[in-house]
Amino acid sequence: MISIIFGSLLWAQQQPHGVEPYTIASTYQKLKAQYPFVEPIRPLRSNKVKAKKNVVYKVDGTKKLRADMYFPKSGKDKVFPAVLLIHGGGWITGSKENLGVMAQHLALHGYVAITLSYTLSREAPYPASVLDIKTAISWMRANAEKYYLDPDKIAIMGTSAGAQLATLVGLTPNSAIYERKSPFSDEVQAIINIDGIVSFVHPEAHEEGKSAGIWLGGSRTENWKNWNEASPLGYVNGNSPPILFVNSAQARFHAGRDDLVSLYNGYGIYSEVHTILDSPHSFWLLHPWFGSTLGYTLGFLERVFGPGQ
């Protein structure tokens, strides 16, 4: 997913000495030689979108986790479907700012869009990040009236490692495995997976070793329990929410997808799969692929939630 500089790595005992930044700018620098036509996405300038930055959604001791919120600029009496966006970065790096442009465009089209900071594996391993995201969904419901969002129309969207997290959270609503103390549900009504694997133990998932091992507390053989437990594919059931996949041309990021779609088909649950031809991983951070990603996302959300406000 990203290039990580490791010192002497001991799976569960030692963190990496250095991590390359994962940003829009670093992605552009990495890919522009191979794809000379690309351009980095840039913030949207529009008076039709309002923003509220660095809102605290979780306090854990002295640590505060924050979110950036983007709203359609309209009358206060309206409520809107909501999309929670989870950034990628191999569970070890990345930031909510990477998905700010996507959130702005979603707000422009009638959604409350929220980008999230969560606990990365350098701070705490699995399941800390999963619990953070579930807390964020409950927080959204607790504050639905304050932030003009419809608590019955919440989608979760993730990119790369964030897509794995989003899919896991979306497929484990109110699960005893990830038990938290909140009267508000962490259930979502739709999942958007942008180039993220859905299983760490599927035969296709054979290239996630180092970064996944840091997050999951050991290699696949050392900590099979976590690798299996953190695999969204194992939680599909007849009540799973509709799902959208938007994938690159890089097969390693599709691990488990086709089996998940087959299960969805068996249950009669709606799903979509789109592959952007000749595209690299992290395509959503660059033009010309950002527009396609946004278009697939908006089309899916309209089919699931109905026409926009």
| pLDDT at residue 263 in the model | 98
- The 10 Å Cβ neighbour count of residue 47 is 6
| pLDDT at residue 173 in the model | 98
57-61, 76-80, 204-208: least confident range = 204-208
Which residue did the predictor score with more confidence, 96 or 19?
96
Which residue did the predictor score with more confidence, 74 or 277?
277
Q: What token pair was written down for 240?
A: 């799973």
- Angular region, 162: left φ>0, alpha ψ -120 to 50, beta rest: alpha
**Residue tagged 């989608």 (tokens):** 155
109-118, 127-136, 216-225: least confident range = 216-225
| pLDDT at residue 308 in the model | 63
Counting runs of H as helices and runs of E as strands, what totals does the chain give? 8, 12
Q: Would you call 121 exposed, middle or buried from its count of C-beta atoms within 10 A (0-12, 13-18, 19+)?
A: buried
**Residue tagged 């002497």 (tokens):** 8
pLDDT above 90 coverage of the chain, percent = 85
Q: Compute the mean pLDDT over every residue in the chain, rounded to the nearest whole number.
A: 92
CA geometry: angle 9, 116, 204, nearest 5 deg: 50
- The 10 Å Cβ neighbour count of residue 29 is 11
Rounded to 5 degrees, φ, ψ at 189 are: -105, 0
pLDDT digits (tens, 9 = 90+) for 93-113: 999 999 999 999 999 999 999
Rg (CA), the chain: 18
| pLDDT at residue 15 in the model | 42
| pLDDT at residue 11 in the model | 34
| pLDDT at residue 5 in the model | 26
Which residue did the predictor score with more confidence, 148 or 15?
148
Give the integer Cα–Cα distance in Å for 49 and 51. Answer: 7
Which residue did the predictor score with more confidence, 8 or 284?
284
Average pLDDT of the residues in 215-244 = 96
Q: In the chain, which ranges are continuous DSSP H helix?
A: 24-31, 100-108, 128-142, 161-171, 209-216, 224-229, 257-267, 289-305
Average pLDDT of the residues in 212-217 = 95
Average pLDDT of the residues in 146-150 = 96
